[in-house]
Amino acid sequence: MPADLPGIVRLRDRREALTLRTILTAARGLFAERGYARTPIRLIAKEAGVAPQTIYAHYGSKAGVLTGLVDLLDDEAGIPDLMAEADAMADPEALIGLLARVSRQVRERCGDIVAIMGSGAAVDADIAATQAEAQRRNRLGVEMIVDRVRESGLRVDPRAADIAVALMSAGVHDSLVTEAGWSYDDYESWLRNTLLAALLGRD
């Protein structure tokens, strides 16, 4: 039997990626509407137009689907592109400004995913574990940027990563954007200036 041609393999990979994204998009909407606990795999499958077995084959369980939403968040918020942009940056202030842009894009584009994890983590161990993984990824990214700023020779607060993670938290965003009605432009500008002041002592 002949081996798969490269074009056929690529087409198969694209179809699989599209199927996975369709499943995650369906789960995202249903979790936001019904809650994680009240959304069975069969309903996600129906919404996505796939068999339940397809979801189990790719994700193993509903908890696996939720973990997939963390990957979807990274993708939709443009985190890989922003991290690639950071690799090419040398200016410490621009690097810190990038943290504000990351926070803005996560909240603006994927606030529903953040809310799903935040509201469910207190009552569901699967969601709590997924939220912890998302927070771990976020902190690693922050630490990477802070280390780059330190390498520039500037004096950086020893607790810079802790401070940045706190300022970038959902609670701060919700207080300013959701409750006080700030625009995302206002939020990003304030966060950038506050991070610069807190991490580098800039006015």
- Residue 11: the pLDDT is 59
- Residue 121: the pLDDT is 84
Write the pLDDT tens digit of every residue in 66-90.
889 988 998 899 988 988 888 888 8
CATH superfamily assigned to domain 6-60 = Homeodomain-like (1.10.10.60)
Give SS3 for 122: coil
Q: Identify the sign of the CA torsion 45, 29, 141, 80.
A: positive
Tell which residue, 27, 104, 91, has the closest CA to residue 58.
27
pTM: 0.83
- Residue 6: the pLDDT is 52
Report mean pLDDT in 10-residue bins for the chain, 203 residues: 50 82 95 91 97 95 89 89 88 95 95 87 84 90 94 92 96 96 98 96 68
Pair of tokens at residue 36 = 């994680």
> Measuring CA to CA, how many Å separate 21 from each of 82, 102, 135?
21, 22, 22
- Residue 4: the pLDDT is 54
Interatomic CA distance for residues 165 and 141, integer angstroms? 10
Pair of tokens at residue 187 = 């939020």
- Residue 199: the pLDDT is 94
**DSSP assignments along 5-49, one per residue:** PHHHHHHHHHHHHHHHHHHHHHHHHHHHHH-STT--HHHHHHHHT
